[in-house]
């Protein structure tokens, strides 16, 4: 509780300082960004683009870990925290509704065309979440010795240096590229630091242990009460997201102001052929609102666990995975890739309104965001394991492994033998 109070006080103090010195930091950032862009060395732009786009590598590490390591639940919780970072950042952007530097400073050029609000920085939040939560959740021995794992000091220091350096350079890249002020970057780091500390200190172990306990042989799975609590959180989150969407549409952001910002996007961004308006679903408060709703993955995930009626026997996967053939290992990967690929077409559909983009427009067979979040959770928790079981490539220790004869699986040993035989 002491850590919670201290962290909350630090967060509130920084929020107050950010509000007080907002204008000063904006002016200083304009000077800094213009200097960086006007005095760049050969290849600097390409270097910073690498840091900006490299974020997408880290979720891939979690995906690989889910496929080949014992800590499958950890990989999924890590992925869930990344989605939570995206959703919370989008909600905060609609609360702050602050423009990006290149929207309103004529001299600043955008080296990447982002059309939503800028404060706090999404790259700052997600990069710090990805970099620091990856070792914390997937490889906790980096921070503290574990019973069966101990990393040498030099390796720990190297990992800490890399994730700190990468997080800083990702933020600095966004300033150089003209899409964020350094105040937006720092605020993103502060918010995500707070969320990560609170989650790891008070929530992660409790959530992981609760799910592991629920998914033992003979247990009833996730309780209806837990599903109801998460459902209430998701519902309240959605209502707050709608509130700030409408406040921005009708009070905080004027049509003339939004059109001016979108004109800057149209004139400055390379290959930008569409002149957006305040009502376009892929800009400003509208796209922020849609991305807020990735929070629905949380509800789909726990609901899918309940539906799957599978079990999770951690620390039994690695040895059994080695015993199956290369062909079966390949099949397991292909099945997961196919399921993920089924969601991709939904993101190329164009929408006329933000609510159609967020919730889906059933009459025209258009779905995105909320439906995709729900489908994604169900694919991981229900469909994937049922396909593995149907194709006889399930392995003991799989997350939500399906067992067909629970009476013969009173302990992990018999489940293990079933997997080996299959």
Give me 263's structure tokens.
Answer: 């004109």
Both tokens of residue 325?
Answer: 């053939």
pLDDT per residue as tens, the chain (422 positions): 889 999 999 999 999 999 999 999 999 999 999 999 999 999 999 999 998 888 778 788 888 889 998 899 999 999 999 999 999 999 999 999 999 999 999 999 999 889 999 999 999 999 999 999 988 998 888 888 777 777 888 888 998 999 999 999 999 999 999 999 999 999 999 999 999 999 999 999 999 999 999 999 888 889 999 999 999 999 999 999 999 999 999 999 999 999 999 999 999 998 888 888 888 888 999 999 989 999 999 999 999 999 998 999 888 898 899 899 999 999 999 999 999 888 887 766 666 666 655 665 433 333 477 888 999 999 999 999 999 999 999 999 999 998 765 433 333 444 444 444 44
| Domain carrying residue 32 | 2-219
pLDDT of residue 352: 61
Residue 41 lies in a domain: yes
Total domains present in the chain: 1
The answer to whether position 356 is within a domain reads no
Q: What is the dihedral of CA 350, 284, 344, 298, to 10 degrees?
A: -130
Give the whole-angstrom CA distance, residue 294 versus residue 374: 9
Query: What SS3 class is residue 361?
Result: strand
Kindly state whether residue 58 falls inside one of the protein's structural domains: yes
**Does 315 fall in a domain?**
no
d(CA 124, CA 341): 27
Is there a domain that residue 125 lies in? yes
Q: Do the domain assignments include residue 331?
A: no
Q: Is residue 143 part of a domain?
A: yes
Structure tokens at 219: 């247990």
Cα dihedral value 68, 72, 75, 77, nearest 10: 170
Contact by Cβ (8 Å): 287, 258: no
Smallest Cα–Cα separation from 104: which of 119, 122, 94?
119
DSSP letter at 118 equals: -
Question: In this structure, what token pair is assigned to residue 247?
Answer: 């406040």
CB within 8 A of 240, min separation 6: which ones? 91
User: CA 251, CA 249: separation in Å to the nearest integer?
Assistant: 6
Q: Is 64 helix (H, G, I), strand (E, B) or coil?
A: helix
What burial letters (b/e) apply to 149-183, b meaning 16+ CB within 10 Å? eebeeeebeebeeebeebbbbbbbbbbbbbbbbbb
What does the angle CA 309 – CA 310 – CA 316 come to, to the nearest 5 degrees?
A: 165
CA distance 271 to 259: 19
* DSSP E strands, 11-62: none
Taking Cα atoms as reference points, which of 203, 142, 160 lies closest to residue 3?
203
């Amino acid at each position: 509780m002491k850590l919670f109070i201290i962290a909350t006080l630090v967060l509130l103090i920084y929020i107050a300082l950010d509000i007080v010195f907002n204008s000063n930091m904006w002016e200083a950032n304009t000077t800094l960004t213009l200097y960086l862009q006007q005095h760049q060395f050969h290849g600097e732009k390409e270097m910073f683009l690498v840091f900006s786009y490299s974020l997408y590598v880290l979720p891939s590490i979690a995906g690989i870990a889910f496929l080949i390591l014992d800590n499958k639940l950890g990989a999924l919780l890590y992925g869930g925290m990344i989605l939570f970072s995206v959703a919370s950042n989008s909600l905060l952007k609609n609360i702050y509704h602050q423009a990006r530097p290149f929207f309103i400073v004529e001299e600043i050029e955008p080296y990447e065309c982002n059309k939503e609000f800028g404060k706090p920085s999404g790259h700052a939040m997600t990069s710090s979440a990805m970099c620091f939560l990856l070792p914390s959740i997937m490889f906790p021995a980096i921070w503290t010795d574990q019973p069966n794992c101990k990393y040498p000091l030099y390796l720990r220091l190297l990992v800490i240096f890399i994730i700190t350096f990468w997080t800083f350079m990702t933020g600095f890249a966004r300033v150089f590229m003209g899409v964020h002020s350094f105040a937006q970057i720092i605020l993103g780091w502060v918010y995500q630091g707070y969320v990560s500390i609170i989650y790891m200190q008070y929530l992660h172990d409790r959530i992981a242990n609760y799910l592991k306990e629920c998914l033992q042989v003979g247990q009833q799975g996730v309780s209806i009460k837990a599903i109801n609590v998460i459902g209430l959180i998701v519902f309240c989150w959605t209502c707050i997201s709608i509130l700030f969407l409408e406040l921005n549409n009708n009070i905080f952001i004027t049509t003339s102001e939004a059109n001016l910002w979108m004109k800057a996007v149209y004139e400055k961004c390379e290959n930008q052929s569409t002149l957006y308006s305040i009502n376009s679903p892929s800009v400003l408060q509208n796209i922020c609102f849609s991305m807020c709703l990735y929070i629905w993955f949380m509800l789909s995930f726990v609901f899918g666990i309940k539906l799957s009626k599978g079990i999770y026997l951690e620390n039994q996967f690695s040895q059994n995975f080695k015993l199956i053939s290369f062909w079966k290992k390949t099949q397991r990967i292909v099945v997961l890739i196919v399921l993920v690929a089924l969601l991709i077409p939904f993101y190329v559909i164009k929408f006329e309104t933000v609510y159609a983009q967020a919730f889906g427009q059933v009459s025209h067979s258009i779905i995105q965001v909320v439906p995709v979040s729900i489908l994604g959770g169900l694919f991981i928790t229900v469909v994937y394991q049922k396909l593995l079981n149907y194709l006889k490539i399930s392995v003991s220790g799989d997350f939500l492994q399906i067992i067909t004869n629970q009476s013969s699986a009173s302990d992990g040993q018999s489940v293990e033998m079933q997997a080996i035989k299959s």
